[in-house]
Amino acid sequence: MNPRAQSFRLLVRRDFGLLWLGEAISQIGDSLNRVALLWFVYQTSHSTLRMSFVGVVQTLPPLLLGPLIGVYLDRLRKNRC
């Protein structure tokens, strides 16, 4: 079976399909929130510098902390029971 057919079969499964749909909706909401915040800053201050600063402040923490947190979580013990 080719990889596309396997991927589609995975999406058709109820549990995985609902998880995938929820993640997709969450990502769309996060993106709209970022755009709305940048738009709000520009509309209230009329400053592209402030808008750029807010964009950088939104982007830097995931870029800098993401890899560190990923390594930390990978090293945690999986079973705590």
pTM of the predicted structure, to 2 decimals: 0.69
75 residue type, one letter = R
Determine contact, residues 35/51, Cβ cutoff 8 Å. no
**For every one of its 81 residues, what pLDDT tens digit does the chain have, with 9 covering 90 and above?**
677 777 778 778 889 889 999 999 999 999 999 999 999 999 999 999 999 999 999 999 999 999 999 899 888 877 766
DSSP state letters, 36-78: HHHHHHHHHH--HHHHHHHHHHHHHHHHHHHHHHHHHHHHS-S
Task: Choose among 72, 63, 38, 32: nearest CA to 52.
Answer: 38
Say which residue the tokens 């769309």 belong to.
Answer: 28
